[in-house]
Copies of this chain bind each other. A is one copy, B any other.
Amino acid sequence: MPKLLNDVFLKALNREPVPYTPVWMMRQAGRYLPEYNATRSRAGSFMTLCKSHDLATEVTLQPLERFPLDAAILFSDILTIPDAMGLGLSFIEGEGPRFAHPLQDESAILSIRAPDPNNLNYVMETASSIRRALNNKIPLIGFSGSPFTLACYMIEGHGNTDFAIARSLLYRRPDLMHHLLQVNTQAITEYLNGQISSGVQSIMIFDTWGGLLSDSNYLPFSLNYIQNIINGLNPGEDGIKIPTILYTKGGGNWLEAMSLTGVNCLGLDWSTSIHKARLRVGEKVALQGNLDPMALFSSSTVIEAQVSEILADFGFGNGHIFNLGHGIDRNTPPENAAVLIDAVHRLSIPYHL
């Protein structure tokens, strides 16, 4: 198997020595890039873009042509699994995702099943296509939403600020919530193993809404299921465990528990100090993050100062992957993303001497 030209990201995930801090950006292939918007227009709808492996490969590569990023991420969406279960996903401009058939009652929840893997073949074809196109220059990250995060959308049918219906189900009918989470866990494990077979070299789990859970519910309703997924992942093409990243937005309270799941890295949002996080869990896991995406609306000077601050907060040594604390905002000037990536590469060298 040919060696990766740039394995800085994978080494950092394993807290091995690297010459500089690797960097990628959540939603790096996205609406802040005019070339992405052009391809999306051509596709017609977001789901058509996701389902065409040629177009999905094209948009995955677009940011790599502009910026010296240290990883690529599969172009897809966290809601492909419920779509494949038959919930009917669409994206309405300015409103976000919407399911035609949300799980609105007990019988709907009890009849939900892990999807026919054939319904998700398009994701596997895209992963293979991107992996070929990357030609071993940088590694490819696969991903899924967490069981609880998927459940939020499946129950409510669309995004919102607090997912009150999903969260109240957890108290009203914990049995139904656990049933749904169990089905999602099985589906996600199969889905991620499919991505691994198709060539992804790392896995990230997006627990975007786990931070809405109470302290005592986070473990039983989110983290335990994520743990089951981690336990169920197959080794990669070289027979070795694929390095994994777990990101719970608003999960700063639970880093210790998250670090014990066997994941290699925790993704941090910007509300958590990466310095304090390293003190808490840095001997167990690498850390990814955590610039506020809004910092990219400022000047080169401010962006460099913010990057410096985060690099210094993490400090000397290994186990840091630079990223934003959440996805890059669609109105971000692309040239400011270039400033960020250059600053991380340049300013991090002294921390790795």
Contact = CB atoms under 8 A, between A and B. Distances in A.
A215 B252 CA distance: 11
A250 interface: yes
Nearest to A302: B171
Interface string A152-185: 0000000001001001101110000000000000
A292 B163 CA distance: 12
Interface string A208-241: 0001111111100000000000000000000000
A309 B171 contact: no
A270 interface: yes
Query: How many copies, total?
Result: 2
A39 interface: no
A294 interface: yes
Given A252-B252, A253-B272, A298-B171, A214 B292 contact: yes
A213 B211 CA distance: 15
Nearest to A305: B171
Contacts of A331: 164
A325 interface: yes
Nearest to A269: B214
Given A211-B250, A215-B270, A253-B272, 20 more contacts: A167-B292, A168-B294, A168-B298, A171-B295, A171-B297, A171-B302, A172-B297, A172-B298, A172-B302, A212-B271, A214-B270, A214-B271, A214-B290, A214-B295, A215-B276, A216-B273, A218-B271, A252-B252, A253-B271, A253-B276
Rank and list the top 3 A-B pairs by shortest CB-CB distance, nearest first. A168-B297, A171-B298, A214-B270
6 contacts: A168-B294, A171-B292, A211-B250, A211-B271, A213-B271, A217-B292
